Chains A and B, each alone.
Chain A
Amino acid sequence: MTDRDQEISAVLHRLAEREEIPDFVMPTAASAPKPRRGKRHWYRWSSLSIATAGAVLFAAGVGTYVSPDFAAQVRSWTGQTAQGANSHKENPSSNAQSSKETIQALFGMGNVDRGIERAMRGYAQKINASVTDQGITLEVIAILADPTRVFVSYQIKKEDGSLLDPKLIRKTLDKVIALTDDTNQRLTNGHGGGWDEKNMIGYLQFSVEEEQGPVPERMKLLIDVNKMGEVEGNWKLEVPFSVKEAMAATRISQVEKEYTTPQGLQIALRTVTEAPSATVLRLETKWDEAAKKRLAQYSRDMTGKTQNHDYAPFVPYQQYQLEYRILDKDGRDVAAYQQKDKFLEQGVLKEGRVSRDQYGHFIWNTAYVPFEGSGPFTFVLDAVHVAEPAALTIDFHPEKLSAEPKRVEYEGNGITVKSLQKQQGQTSQSTALELEMAFRDISAIEHVWWEITDQSGKSYPINGAAFDSVGEDSQGRKIVRMTLNVEEMEQIPQQLTLSLSAVTKRYADVQWSVDLPLK
Chain B
Amino acid sequence: MKEGKEVELSIASRKIDSASFEQLVRPHLAMAYRTACLIIRDRQLAQDAVQEALVEVYQSLERFDPERGRSFRAWFAKIVTHRALNAVRRFKPVDEYQEWPDESTNPLDSIIEREEQQQIWKAICGMKVKHRTVVILFYYGDFSVAEIAEMLGVFEGTVKSRLHHARKLIGTELRKHDDTPHLSKVGVSTND
B190/A193 in contact, CB under 8 A = yes
In the complex, how many angstroms separate the beta carbon of A278 from the nearest chain B beta carbon?
Answer: 14
In the complex, how many angstroms separate the beta carbon of B86 from the nearest chain A beta carbon?
Answer: 8
A4 contact set on B, CB distance < 8 A: 167, 170-171
Q: Which of A5, A52, A190, A463 contacts B190 (CB 8 A)?
A: A190
Q: A192-B190, A230-B111, A423-B155 are in contact. Are A173 and B101 (CB under 8 A)?
A: yes
In the complex, how many angstroms separate the beta carbon of B44 from the nearest chain A beta carbon?
Answer: 8
A308 within 8 A of B: yes
Q: A19-B37, A26-B54, A58-B92 are in contact. Are A35 and B29 (CB under 8 A)?
A: no
Q: A170-B189, A193-B99 are in contact. Are A16 and B92 (CB under 8 A)?
A: no
Q: Which residues of A, 1-34, contact B by the 8 Å Cβ criterion?
A: 4-5, 7-19, 21-22, 24-29, 32-34
Q: A16-B140, A227-B102 are in contact. Are A32 and B154 (CB under 8 A)?
A: no
Q: A171 CA to B95 CA in the complex, in Å?
A: 20
Q: A46-B152, A427-B146 are in contact. Are A22 and B33 (CB under 8 A)?
A: yes
B154/A16 in contact, CB under 8 A = no
A348 contact set on B, CB distance < 8 A: 92
B136 within 8 A of A: yes
B89 within 8 A of A: yes
Q: Which residues of A, 152-168, contact B by the 8 Å Cβ criterion?
A: 167
Q: Which residues of B, 152-170, contact A by the 8 Å Cβ criterion?
A: 152-158, 167, 170
Q: A54 CA to B189 CA in the complex, in Å?
A: 23
Q: Which of B37, B51, B117, B150 contacts A16 (CB 8 A)?
A: B37
A172 within 8 A of B: yes
A198 contact set on B, CB distance < 8 A: 183-185
Q: A14 CA to B101 CA in the complex, in Å?
A: 8
Q: Which of B59, B103, B146 contacts A33 (CB 8 A)?
A: B59
B130 within 8 A of A: yes
Q: Which residues of B, 124-176, contact A by the 8 Å Cβ criterion?
A: 124, 129-130, 133, 135-136, 139-140, 144-146, 149-150, 152-158, 167, 170-171
A512 within 8 A of B: no
Q: A7-B120, A47-B129, A111-B186 are in contact. Are A54 and B90 (CB under 8 A)?
A: yes
Q: Which of B103, B139, B191 contacts A9 (CB 8 A)?
A: B139
Q: A351 CA to B90 CA in the complex, in Å?
A: 10
Q: Which residues of A, 185-231, contact B by the 8 Å Cβ criterion?
A: 188-199, 207, 227, 229-230
Q: A178 CA to B147 CA in the complex, in Å?
A: 41
B63 within 8 A of A: yes
Q: A26 CA to B26 CA in the complex, in Å?
A: 10
B145 contact set on A, CB distance < 8 A: 426
A485 contact set on B, CB distance < 8 A: 153-155
A193/B189 in contact, CB under 8 A = yes
Q: A230 CA to B112 CA in the complex, in Å?
A: 12
Q: A41 CA to B117 CA in the complex, in Å?
A: 44
B55/A27 in contact, CB under 8 A = yes
Q: A230 CA to B111 CA in the complex, in Å?
A: 8
Q: A194 CA to B185 CA in the complex, in Å?
A: 10
Q: A191 CA to B98 CA in the complex, in Å?
A: 10
Q: A348-B92, A425-B155, A428-B150 are in contact. Are A197 and B188 (CB under 8 A)?
A: no
A268 within 8 A of B: no
B54 contact set on A, CB distance < 8 A: 24-27
B18/A26 in contact, CB under 8 A = yes
A466/B103 in contact, CB under 8 A = no
Q: A19 CA to B63 CA in the complex, in Å?
A: 30
B111 contact set on A, CB distance < 8 A: 229-230
A189/B171 in contact, CB under 8 A = no
Q: A46 CA to B96 CA in the complex, in Å?
A: 25
B62 within 8 A of A: yes
Q: Which of B89, B120, B154, B157 contacts A8 (CB 8 A)?
A: B120
Q: Which of A10, A52, A173, A350 contacts B102 (CB 8 A)?
A: A173
In the complex, how many angstroms separate the beta carbon of B22 from the nearest chain A beta carbon?
Answer: 5
Task: Mark contacts of B86-122 with chain A using CB atoms, 8 A cut-off: 1 yes-contact digit, 0 otherwise.
Answer: 0001111101101111110001000100101110110
A353 within 8 A of B: yes
User: What total of chain B residues lie within 8 Å of the partner, measured CB to CB?
Assistant: 83
Q: Which of B91, B102, B187, B191 contacts A191 (CB 8 A)?
A: B191
B139/A12 in contact, CB under 8 A = yes
Q: A45 CA to B84 CA in the complex, in Å?
A: 12
B38 within 8 A of A: yes
Q: A428 CA to B146 CA in the complex, in Å?
A: 7
A172/B103 in contact, CB under 8 A = yes
Q: Which of B55, B98, B144 contacts A15 (CB 8 A)?
A: B98
A430 within 8 A of B: yes
Q: A5-B139, A11-B117, A195-B187 are in contact. Are A32 and B33 (CB under 8 A)?
A: no
Q: Which residue of A lies closest to B159 (CB)?
A: A425
B92 contact set on A, CB distance < 8 A: 54, 56, 58, 345, 348, 350-351
B22 contact set on A, CB distance < 8 A: 26
Q: A47-B152, A54-B89, A207-B192 are in contact. Are A11 and B50 (CB under 8 A)?
A: no
Task: Mark contacts of A50-66 with chain B using CB atoms, 8 A cut-off: 1 yes-contact digit, 0 otherwise.
Answer: 00111110100000000
Q: Which residue of B lies closest to A112 (CB)?
A: B186
A188 contact set on B, CB distance < 8 A: 192
Q: Which residue of B lies closest to A425 (CB)?
A: B156
B82 within 8 A of A: yes
Q: Which residue of B lies closest to A22 (CB)?
A: B47
A427/B114 in contact, CB under 8 A = no
Q: Which of B37, B56, B154, B188 contacts A308 (CB 8 A)?
A: B56
B183 contact set on A, CB distance < 8 A: 197-198
Please indicate which of the listed interface residues B90, B100, B153 has the most CB atoms of chain A within 10 Å of its own CB. Answer: B153
A244 within 8 A of B: no
In the complex, how many angstroms separate the beta carbon of B56 from the nearest chain A beta carbon?
Answer: 6
8 A-B pairs besides A54-B89, A425-B155 with CB distance below 8 A are A8-B135, A9-B139, A15-B98, A25-B54, A26-B58, A192-B192, A353-B90, A464-B153
Interfacial residues, chain A to chain B (CB-CB below 8 A)? 4-5, 7-19, 21-22, 24-29, 32-35, 44-48, 52-56, 58, 111, 167, 170-174, 188-199, 207, 227, 229-230, 307-310, 345, 348, 350-351, 353, 423, 425-428, 430, 432, 447, 462-466, 485
User: 9 A-B residue contacts at CB 8 Å?
Assistant: A15-B38, A25-B51, A35-B62, A47-B152, A58-B93, A170-B189, A189-B192, A197-B183, A464-B153
